[in-house]
Amino acid sequence: MVAIDLGSNTIRGGLWECDKGMVDIYEKVVRLGEGVWKEGVISPDATQRVIDAINEMKERWEFDPKTDVKAIGTEALRRAKNRNGVLAQIRRETGVRIKVIPPEREAILGALGVERCLRVNQIGEPHHFLMVDIGGGSTEITLKHRQGIVSRSFPIGIVKLAEEFKTPEQIAIYLKKFRPKIREYLKTLFATFRKPKILVGSSGTPTTLANLKQGGNYKNYDKFRVNGTTLTQEELDYWLNKLLGMEMRKREELVGVGRGDLIGAGILILKEILKLADYREIVACNDGVLEGIGVDWCKKKSIETQLERLKKLREQKREKEQKNGGKV
């Protein structure tokens, strides 16, 4: 199946197989949320960038209307006044139907992806972790426990902050306004559930920094060396100063084209949450919402297969009873 996660900044697509996981991945900065927080609408240019990206995926993986495609949209589409028109145009020009999901569903999918990442890579406790997912328009803080998840979305995203504020100092001052709400939320979480041993970062900012820490750059990004890499507050400070001290061209060689002006906001959000949650470090995990879509699809397929088997067994039993005159 093909999974698509259309975020406020980046669109990610993946070719997923239940027994292997993600066998191929596509990623592109489309800036869907550009201008949404000021004007309330998604621009024609942003819509076209999404259409072009999806058509590139279609050509790459040769999927057609019969292909099982699960595509979701998040914060930018949740906010846009012209959402219905944008979704209709995308479907008309690509054949792909995008389902806009609420923050709660986004958190569930993200947790499914991270849980798989932790389990496969034998990191921490796969059924009990705190997760931060920094998006273009919002940031989700989620606690996964054995019985389910608890999550809350905060309106602090990298595209939104980068558009509204011009300097790191301005962003830092703005983030201080959210400290009481985030602190109270975490306090309630940890009082209700055991505080997880690890804080996991599944979004672009922590995974990008983890790749840089391992000596990589955007072109040679390697999820296997990223998974499990830790980042301390001191290392976040180091990368914030180093990256913002570079000219844009050099910065984008490291973090990716279209991300150079956003990485500072992402690091500042990460620093704030790491401090408020009182963890010594954050653990990077490549898997997130996109991988969660695949995990969720495979679980449902497994249930459907089991139900189909039960149905066949009942039919066989009924046929046998009929042949034996009602006796088994």
22: which DSSP letter? E
Domain check: are 231 and 256 in the same one?
Answer: yes
Please state the separation of Cα 233 from the chain's center in Å.
23
What is the spatial order of strands in the sheet that 2-6 belongs to? Answer: 21-29, 10-17, 2-6, 69-73, 98-100
Residue type, 47: T
In sequence order, what are the residues at sequence separation of 6 or more whose Cβ sits closer than 8 angstroms to the Cβ of residue 303?
Answer: none
Whether 298 is in a domain gets the answer no
In this structure, is residue 297 part of a structural domain?
no
pLDDT in tens, 132-173: 999 988 999 999 998 899 999 999 999 889 889 989 999 999
Q: What is the CATH number of the domain that holds 186?
A: 3.30.420.150
Q: Are residues 141 and 201 in the same domain?
A: yes
Q: Which of 236, 171, 167, 175 is nearest to 201 (CA)?
A: 236
Looking at the structure of the chain, the number of domains it has is: 2
Same domain for 94 and 135, yes or no, is no
* pLDDT given for residue 38 in this prediction: 87
Could you tell me where the DSSP H helices lie in 193-288?
204-213, 223-226, 233-244, 248-255, 263-277
For residues 111 and 144, is the Cβ–Cβ distance under 8 A? Answer: yes
CA triplet 213, 217, 219: central angle to 5 degrees?
A: 150
User: Between the CA of residue 222 and those of 30, 57, 182, 235, 238, what are the distances in Å?
Assistant: 22, 21, 32, 20, 21
Provide the residue range defining the domain that includes 280.
Answer: 103-287
Task: Identify which of 291, 121, 70, 293 has the alpha carbon closest to the alpha carbon of residue 202.
Answer: 291
pLDDT on residue 305: 60
Q: What is the distance, to the nearest Å, from the Cα of residue 183 to the centroid of all Cα atoms in its chain?
A: 23
Report the alpha-carbon distance of residue 155 to residue 282 in Å, rounded: 21
Q: Distance (Å, rounded) from C-alpha 288 to C-alpha 134?
A: 11
Do 252 and 135 fall into the same domain?
yes
Please identify, among 67, 101, 135, the residue that sits at the C-terminal boundary of a domain: 101
> Same domain, yes or no, for 71 and 112?
no
- In this prediction, residue 64 carries a pLDDT of 79
In this structure, are 140 and 246 located in the same domain?
Answer: yes
DSSP of 309-324: HHHHHHHHHHHHHHHT
Q: Of 44, 74, 101, which one is at a domain's C-terminal end? A: 101
186 and 70 in one domain? no
Residues 147/156, Cβ–Cβ less than 8 Å: no
Find the CATH number of the domain harbouring 59: 3.30.420.40
Residue 46's DSSP bridge partners are none
DSSP letter (8 states) at residue 45? H
Between CA 233 and CA 3 the distance in angstroms is 34
Query: Are 272 and 211 in the same domain?
Result: yes
Same domain, residue pair 144 and 86: no
Low-confidence residues of the chain, pLDDT below 50? none
Question: Which of the 8 DSSP states describes residue 121?
Answer: T
Q: Do 297 and 12 meet the contact criterion of CB atoms below 8 Å apart?
A: no
pLDDT at residue number 306: 62
